[in-house]
């Protein structure tokens, strides 16, 4: 595994590997890419495993991207542990770790941004203005730097997956986007680098998120007539049962368009994939979680 911190070195390395694969093996190299902000956990490991299985060369980027954080968000205290990240990357068989500095990624304040409209106005986009412009701008830059064939993203950030797919389609990036299932702790908590912020009591109460999503899924499966309104209300009631939980949003939208679904329609009558998504604060930590369901209430990626 090699660690690269300069854009020119990264480009040259990937280009060189591609050329020598054609020369020596007489075939194209497949390059898989996993972009992250580091402080890696088993969720990232699952993306790397899939990338490893499906590609000749696996590139991991670790970069805490300042332009996707709002002024009052956690950029300064975002958890970092480079040595542990590199050990995990080596264990997962990563070939190249791209670890640029902020100066390397943004040598001058960027005057160019990639902004996906509509899909970024819902859910996290509504409560974190500018966040997705920061995400699409850095992912677009990383896609140009790495030039992968395939890129892997976790579905815990389902809105991010929808937004990046839209960007890739609209701007003709020749890159396949692979969404990967949410990875959970054994008690159900969705893995997130931000889980380390939680106190013991907050972590205990945060279990309500996965528990109430699971209950919603069971309810939809067992009661074909249940409406999106009823599901949303029951999720809100459940989450509010935990005194430390402060709801940012609980929403049910069509996926990947992120358009509203009829609130009084039975979920099983809807002819689209459904995203049930929530963001809830416990103390200063904002957690997100979701489930994706087909029209017949069957979980597609949990």
By CB under 6 A, name the binding residues for ligand PAF: 35-37, 65, 68, 135, 138-139, 157, 160
From residue 151, alpha-carbon distances to 78, 101, 164, 211 in Å are 24, 21, 10, 30
In the bound state with ligand PAF, the residue whose beta carbon lies nearer, of 166 and 228, is: 166
| Nearest distance in Å: CB 64, ligand PAF | 8
In the bound state with ligand PAF, the residue whose beta carbon lies nearer, of 44 and 203, is: 44
Residue 44 annotated as catalytic = yes
| Nearest distance in Å: CB 224, ligand PAF | 35
From residue 232, alpha-carbon distances to 215, 227, 242 in Å are 12, 9, 16
Reduced to 3 states, what is the DSSP secondary structure of residue 165? helix
Torsions phi, psi for 78 (to 5 deg): -55, 130
CB-based contacts of 115: which residues, under 8 Å, 6+ apart? 132, 133, 136
Reduced to 3 states, what is the DSSP secondary structure of residue 15? helix
| Nearest distance in Å: CB 156, ligand PAF | 9
Q: 184, 186, 217: which is closest to 292 by C-alpha? A: 217
Residue 105 and residue 249: Cα distance in Å, rounded? 32
Alpha-helical regions (H) of the chain: 7-20, 42-54, 82-91, 102-105, 123-127, 131-146, 158-170, 200-222, 228-240
- The counts of H helices and E strands in the chain are 9, 9
In the bound state with ligand PAF, the residue whose beta carbon lies nearer, of 36 and 212, is: 36
Other beta carbons within 10 angstroms of residue 198's beta carbon come to: 20
Catalytic residue among 41, 44, 131, 144: 44
In the bound state with ligand PAF, the residue whose beta carbon lies nearer, of 155 and 235, is: 155
Q: Is 275 exposed, middle or buried (0-12, 13-18, 19+ CB in 10 A)?
A: buried
| Nearest distance in Å: CB 153, ligand PAF | 7
Which DSSP state fits 189?
P
Q: Is the dihedral of CA 203, 208, 209, 211 positive or negative?
A: positive
| Nearest distance in Å: CB 2, ligand PAF | 20
In the bound state with ligand PAF, the residue whose beta carbon lies nearer, of 68 and 210, is: 68
| Nearest distance in Å: CB 98, ligand PAF | 11
In the bound state with ligand PAF, the residue whose beta carbon lies nearer, of 128 and 203, is: 128
Query: Hey, which residues are catalytic here?
Result: 44
């Amino acid at each position: 595994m090699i660690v690269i911190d300069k854009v020119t070195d990264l480009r040259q390395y990937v280009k060189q590997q591609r050329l020598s694969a054609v020369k020596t093996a007489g075939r194209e190299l497949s390059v898989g890419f996993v972009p992250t902000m580091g402080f890696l956990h088993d969720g990232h490991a699952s993306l790397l495993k899939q990338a490893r299985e499906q590609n000749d060369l696996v590139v991991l980027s670790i970069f805490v991207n300042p332009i996707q954080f709002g002024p009052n968000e956690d950029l300064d205290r975002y958890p970092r542990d480079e040595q542990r990240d590199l050990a995990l990357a080596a264990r997962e068989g990563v070939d190249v770790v791209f670890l640029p500095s902020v100066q390397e990624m943004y040598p001058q304040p960027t005057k160019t941004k990639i902004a996906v409209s509509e899909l970024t106005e819902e859910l996290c986009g509504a409560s974190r203005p500018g966040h997705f412009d920061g995400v699409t701008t850095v992912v677009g830059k990383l896609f140009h730097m790495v030039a992968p064939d395939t890129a892997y993203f976790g579905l815990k950030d389902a809105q991010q997956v929808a937004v990046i797919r839209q960007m890739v389609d609209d701007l003709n990036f020749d890159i396949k986007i692979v969404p990967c299932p949410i990875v959970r702790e054994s008690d159900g908590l969705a893995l997130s680098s931000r889980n380390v912020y939680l106190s013991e009591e907050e972590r205990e109460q945060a279990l309500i998120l996965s528990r109430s999503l699971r209950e919603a899924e069971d309810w939809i499966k067992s009661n074909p007539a249940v409406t999106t309104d009823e599901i949303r209300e029951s999720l809100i009631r459940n989450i509010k049962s935990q005194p430390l939980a402060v709801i940012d949003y609980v929403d049910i939208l069509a996926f990947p368009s992120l358009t509203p679904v009829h609130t009084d329609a039975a979920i099983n009558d809807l002819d689209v994939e459904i995203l049930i998504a929530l963001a809830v604060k416990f103390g200063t930590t904002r957690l997100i979680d979701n489930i994706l369901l087909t029209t017949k209430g069957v979980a597609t990626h949990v």
